[in-house]
Amino acid sequence: MAIFNRIMRPTRLTVFLLAASAAGCSPDAPSAPDFQRPVVPALEAVDYALLGGGKIAFERIGQAGNAYNALYVIDAAAGSSAHYFNNTLFFGAALSPDGRRVAYTFFDEATRYDVFVANLDRTDERHVTSFSGQEGPPTWTPDGSKVVVAATTDGPIYDIYSQSPVANPTDQIQHTSFSVAPGQPFTCPLVADNDTRVVMSGQGLVAFACMAGEIDVLSSTGRIAASYNPDRTNRRAWPNVFSPVWSPDGARLAFIETTADSATGYRLTAVAVKVMNADGSNVGTIVSMPTPGSDAQAGGGWVGLNNFSLCWMPDGSRLVFNLPESALVGHLWVVQPDGTGLAQLTTAPGVWDRSVSCARS
């Protein structure tokens, strides 16, 4: 497989995290009595009909003088929205397929960031994984019986695991055994960072973006089943790939492909939603959109997971993805799999919406 240079991106912390650090307190549980948590606003008016039915959830990072973050949930069928995990340092949240629970990575003093599962209001929180390294953003199997995550016990190489969303599970399965020989470069397929969202189809196929350079599909035993490599003939228009997600029937894989200008410090010029069959055939572009801002970054300007994200509504009728507008501002859009019905869903000023996930109800 090809060798890829890792994309470089600046990282920034929200004001509330900096304020918490300066006060000597955790952003999740501030100890300084004068520390004021930012007010998390309600979701702006959205067109629920754009989603058809079901729910979506996404992480919103706010700024513009009132820096905050929260998990926003839109229930299209009910025509309502709510926000949870206000000003809590969580990453990579993913709704369970039934829309009742959420999996996310959260800090643990003993083992750094682990996977937790809770109800949307964070009741019944369960500490699900405890690898010695830092886990990536979790996802769910289509039937909701297991969470899927990239994790490491030692070193920079991650492997892919699935297990029940309970503490101390007895059914944990390791699906890969990636390795790199001493002194040798990293080559795909492998998982080499904890930004990677790993997704599993109902047929047991596992997909992920390898070092943002290619989309790899593995069998449940870790064997390579398919891959997609962007065309890199034009080295100035440099492509990267992110956030693969399976169609509800497991027959197709949608993902995000960005294009960055190497002559301008890899500023983004376009974001595309692409799709391919599970065997890697019939790669096509659903929609390609120019990025409106001149300072949008190749990997997104915020620290954390799933800066570029995508989800497929469970009825197969729509895809939801985020489009960067500048280094620190981006919103959610909706499009149908045939490329029609493109529309902007979220519009609040000065926010970054990421880590979107879809659920049935």
Instruction: Please count the other Cβ atoms lying within 10 Å of the Cβ belonging to residue 271.
Output: 23
In order along its 361 residues, the chain shows pLDDT tens digits of 444 443 333 333 333 343 333 233 344 544 444 457 899 999 999 999 999 999 999 999 998 667 899 999 999 999 999 999 999 989 999 999 999 999 999 988 888 889 999 999 999 999 999 998 889 999 999 999 999 999 998 788 999 999 999 988 999 999 999 999 888 999 999 998 888 799 999 999 999 999 999 999 999 778 999 999 999 999 999 999 999 999 999 999 999 999 999 999 899 999 999 999 999 999 999 999 998 777 888 888 888 888 999 999 999 999 999 999 998 999 999 999 999 999 999 999 999 999 999 999 8
**CA–CA distance, 27 with 21 (Å, rounded to integer):** 8
**CA–CA distance, 287 with 272 (Å, rounded to integer):** 6
pLDDT confidence of residue 36: 75
DSSP element (H, E) containing 307: none
pLDDT confidence of residue 64: 61
pLDDT confidence of residue 153: 85
Are the CB atoms for 159 and 175 separated by under 8 Å?
yes
pLDDT confidence of residue 87: 95
pLDDT confidence of residue 65: 65
CA distances in angstroms from 353 to 1, 58, 105, 158, 235, listed in the order given: 33, 6, 17, 26, 29
Which tens digit of pLDDT belongs to each residue from 76-129? Answer: 999 999 999 999 989 999 999 999 999 999 988 888 889 999 999 999 999 999
Indicate the residue type of 317. S
Q: Rounded to an integer, what is the distance from CA 4 to the centroid of its chain? A: 21
Q: Is residue 235 packed enough to be buried (19+ CB in 10 Å), middle (13-18) or exposed (0-12)?
A: exposed
Are the CB atoms for 105 and 114 separated by under 8 Å?
yes
Q: State the residue for tokens 């700024």.
A: 63
Cis, bond preceding 137 (omega within 30 deg of 0): no
Are the CB atoms for 68 and 38 separated by under 8 Å?
yes
**CA–CA distance, 251 with 28 (Å, rounded to integer):** 40
pLDDT confidence of residue 50: 97
Q: Where are the beta strands (DSSP E) in 229-304?
A: 237-246, 252-261, 267-277, 284-290
DSSP element (H, E) containing 345: none
Q: State the residue for tokens 């410090």.
A: 265
Are the CB atoms for 268 and 298 separated by under 8 Å?
yes
Decide the pairing of beta strands 68-75 and 199-200. unpaired
Phi-psi category of residue 271: left, alpha or beta, with phi > 0 → left and psi -120 to 50 → alpha = beta
Length of the chain: 361
What backbone phi and psi angles, to 5 degrees, belong to 262? -65, -20
